[in-house]
Structure 1
Amino acid sequence: MPLTHTVINKLQPSSTSIDTKRPDKHSDGNGLQLWVRYTGVKSWISAYRWQGKQQTLTIGTYPVMSLQNARQRNIEIKRLIADGVNPKDHKKEQQASQDGLNIFDNIAQSWYAERKTYLAESTFTRNYSAYMRDVKPSIGQKNINDITAPDILAIGKAVESRGANEMARRTIREVGQIFKHAIRNGLATHNPATDLAEAIKPHKTTNHHRITSQQLPKLLTDINAYQGDVLVKLGLWFLCYTFVRTNEIRFMEWSEIDYKHGLWRIPADKMKAKRLHIVPLAPQAMAILEQIKELGFSDQYVFFNTSTRKPYSQSAFINALWNMGYKGKMTGHGFRGLASTTLHEKEFMHEAIELQLAHDRENKISAAYNGAQHLPYRIDMMHQWANFIDDAYAGKLDNVIHTNFRQQKQKHG
């Protein structure tokens, strides 16, 4: 049976592999195999016959080389054989031409493969995508020792010109880290990226664009009428009901949902503050999850982009809002600000609101944070917030959140 990204991501070394130091072999068909080594490294192998003898050739590692790219490379190997070329000889010739050049992209790919093993998935995806988009096209095929400070600064300035100042600084620092990696491995002698990030203007902090509660009914009507990707539309509704960060919703997994208690438990490694976060899910939010589940797009991720075969990009939700006419008016993060302002106006407990927003403020929330702190109160608050969203959509802003908040304070402390 052909492999899938879901299957590959779940593969772990078997006890036999760990004991014998021999890889587990998983076939994709047409001679393409994925070997899961006892170290956890997943290597793409092309198996073929050459002059009557069985041969294997390593063509890459997952996830640096995707399943689609591995299949394409395997097809290329079959074409070489059909043309009478030994794939191993071809690979040696390619390596011989590149090894002496110290190609920057080869070094970068090696560094990112290491980073993948310990970085949070969202962080790795963000940084690696930025490299592939902004760095590789500019200096990827250059000899690392021919790359100059102006070359690197030009990349940072190009990113800065898009208004992404912090991304520009981060990109330059990443290039510097790749140079340090090369120096440690004897492939470079100096780091031209040192201190270049200081040439990028600091990002001017501004509040995230957001509408007012009075403008909310119009936004909800526009979301409901949205004709784009159905999962993006459902994701916007889910943001309305939960006001989580967009990164948290992008990488939401089915295994994190507690259906019995109506809770979403986000693991610490996915959170900005690196601690478990509990999101009470009102019936409206649970209904959205049921809709998505029935679509059957992914057994792992809730908001799964079937076009790219991975979670949605960071721009998916903001682009949808822009397409609805909210550019400069509303962002995915804006739902958080709207919820915070409205819930404070309705006199909900400040600490409960901050806990639900997962704000990392040591002067207001103890470092000894308990994910279940004020949970009964927060469950009630989130249910009332969901009702507020529904009433706003129905044009009943004057009827929303009927609870006597003084009684709520007495009830929950």
Structure 2
Amino acid sequence: MPLTDSQIKRLKPSDTCTPSRPDKYSDGNNLRLWVRSTGSKVWVCDYKYADKRQSLTIGKYPAMSLADARQRNQQIKDLIAQGINPKHDKKRQQADNDGSKAFDNIAQRWHDDRKAHIAPTTYSRDYSQYQRDIKPVIGHMNIDDITAPDILAIGKAIEARGASDMARRAMRQTGQIFKQAIREGLVTHNPANDLTEALKPHKVKHHSRVTSQQLPKLLQDINAYEGDLLVKLGLWFMCYTFVRTQELRFMEWSEIDYKAKVWRIPAEKMKMDRPHLVPLAPQTMAILEQIKALGFSDQYVFFNPSTRKPYSTNAFITALWRMGYKGRMTGHGFRGLASTTLHEQEYMHEAIELQLAHEKENKISKAYNGAQHLPYRIDMMNQWANFIDDAYAGKLDNVIRADFKGQKQKLG
């Protein structure tokens, strides 16, 4: 039976409707209305072209009325009769219209702008996800027509595959593309804001790491490592700074403020897309001086002269495995170890979280200031570096009871 306007207005997602399986209602003549789990309703035309069955989304209800959908459905049949693929014609029409506001065009500009400033692996990961999960859903749409439910549907579909981290990443990427459009003056609002809260709570994955009591042995094993010198120095650098392995790998000489003794990581290199400051203790400055003297690269600090590019993540994890720490320690484990120890020693929670560059969905993070508590963090990082040195020297028990805790108390 053909659909009616009153019937369409009453339609709501059924109990069996999911992000990957919308409800489908036939109007006849191969025209169907899809009702998504978000409540949005879209017109879809099923047709056969070149002996292959295909589907084409032609509009959203109520922006496209029932009468308009039937008219567009007939136009598609006329195109097929002329030997024209309706999908190709749709792309042509979109290009003829205001192409500057096509979401895909804006997204391409955003990705192109980032390419020169971020790690190749990060660019490849994000662009591949755009092509796979975002573009097929909203790439063809005018950015003015994209709503929060459209974006949420992308995240829900990815989440349904069991990839909750990827779902959040896709929605953050969509939000960044909207920010690009806002900067270009194409739109004034961002419907992707705060949508990650609608996804299932993120399950924290605890990375393998040694305990503080096992730390002295780990440090001694790192110092005795006979593999690649820069990998060894990189592990020491992670001990002192507890940065992410990805941040370490793509560290550049131009990011080091020698006068302030701070590593200034730009936003595009950070997981949370915001700039980050890493205070550099004398121990880390000494490592940098040692690497600089080797003269391997004028751009990257941890540069592999054999491959002519920064070291891979596997270089660091493999080194730990060779030392006997497979399943016991990872590059990320240095972060967990530092967080636990600093919290146990009653350092300011907010300063620790800022130094870890963690994402926090609260008012503090939304007003993020990379220099917040910087003097406190500089002292904390210097004391942490001294703690690492004392642990290596076998003075861990004395440090915990006296020096480390006593220095912390001086910060007041």
Deviation of residue 113 (structure 1)?
A: 11
Measure the CA separation in 2 of the matches of 1:289 and 1:337: 24
Q: Answer whether contact 1:120 1:270 (CA < 8 A) is retained.
A: no
1:359 matched residue in structure 2: 358
Gaps of 5+ in 2: 1-106, 142-155, 165-202
What TM-score, normalized to structure 2? 0.55
Q: Answer whether contact 1:263 1:280 (CA < 8 A) is retained.
A: yes
Measure the CA separation in 2 of the matches of 1:400 and 1:338: 16
2:378 matched residue in structure 1: 379
Choose which of 110, 114, 121 in structure 2 pairs with 1:118.
114
Q: Which secondary structure state, in structure 2, belongs to the residue aligned with residue 118 of structure 1?
A: helix
Q: Answer whether contact 2:114 2:268 (CA < 8 A) is retained.
A: no
1:257 matched residue in structure 2: 256
1:226–1:403 distance in 2 versus 1, CA, 3 Å: closer
Measure the CA separation in 2 of the matches of 1:179 and 1:364: 34
Deviation of residue 365 (structure 1)?
A: 3.2
Moved over 3 A (4+): 111-117, 119-124, 170-184, 195-205, 401-409
Measure the CA separation in 2 of the matches of 1:279 and 1:267: 11
Q: Which string of whole-angstrom CA distances, capped at 9 and with x for unpartnered residues, describes residues 216-236 of structure 1?
A: 011111111111111111000
Q: Which secondary structure state, in structure 2, belongs to the residue aligned with residue 287 of structure 1?
A: helix
Matched, 1:298 2:297: yes
Q: Which secondary structure state, in structure 2, belongs to the residue aligned with residue 301 of structure 1?
A: coil
Matched, 1:394 2:393: yes
1:177–1:328 distance in 2 versus 1, CA, 3 Å: same
Q: Answer whether contact 1:305 1:312 (CA < 8 A) is retained.
A: yes
Q: Answer whether contact 2:220 2:392 (CA < 8 A) is retained.
A: yes
1:198–1:285 distance in 2 versus 1, CA, 3 Å: closer
Equivalent position amino acid for 2:114 in 1: Y
Q: Answer whether contact 1:240 1:335 (CA < 8 A) is retained.
A: yes
Measure the CA separation in 1 of the matches of 2:279 and 2:373: 11
Aligned runs of 1:220-235 on 2, under 5 Å?
Answer: 220-235=219-234
Aligned length: 255
2:336 matched residue in structure 1: 337
1:242 matched residue in structure 2: 241
What TM-score, normalized to structure 1? 0.54
Measure the CA separation in 2 of the matches of 1:366 and 1:115: 25
1:117–1:202 distance in 2 versus 1, CA, 3 Å: closer
Q: Which secondary structure state, in structure 2, belongs to the residue aligned with residue 275 of structure 1?
A: coil
Aligned runs of 1:148-187 on 2, under 5 Å?
Answer: 174-175=131-132
Measure the CA separation in 2 of the matches of 1:384 and 1:123: 31
Q: Which string of whole-angstrom CA distances, capped at 9 and with x for unpartnered residues, describes residues 276-330 of structure 1?
A: 2111111111100010000000001101111221111222211211121111111
1:73 matched residue in structure 2: none
Deviation of residue 412 (structure 1)?
A: 4.8
1:407–1:326 distance in 2 versus 1, CA, 3 Å: closer
Q: Which string of whole-angstrom CA distances, capped at 9 and with x for unpartnered residues, describes residues 72-113 of structure 1?
A: xxxxxxxxxxxxxxxxxxxxxxxxxxxxxxxxxxxxxxx999
Measure the CA separation in 2 of the matches of 1:352 and 1:182: 40
Measure the CA separation in 1 of the matches of 2:356 and 2:387: 17
1:200–1:284 distance in 2 versus 1, CA, 3 Å: same
Aligned runs of 1:34-73 on 2, under 5 Å?
Answer: none
Measure the CA separation in 1 of the matches of 2:138 and 2:365: 38
1:306–1:182 distance in 2 versus 1, CA, 3 Å: farther
Measure the CA separation in 2 of the matches of 1:197 and 1:181: 14
2:206 matched residue in structure 1: 207
Q: Answer whether contact 2:119 2:269 (CA < 8 A) is retained.
A: no
Gaps of 5+ in 1: 1-110, 131-166, 185-194
Q: Answer whether contact 1:172 1:197 (CA < 8 A) is retained.
A: no
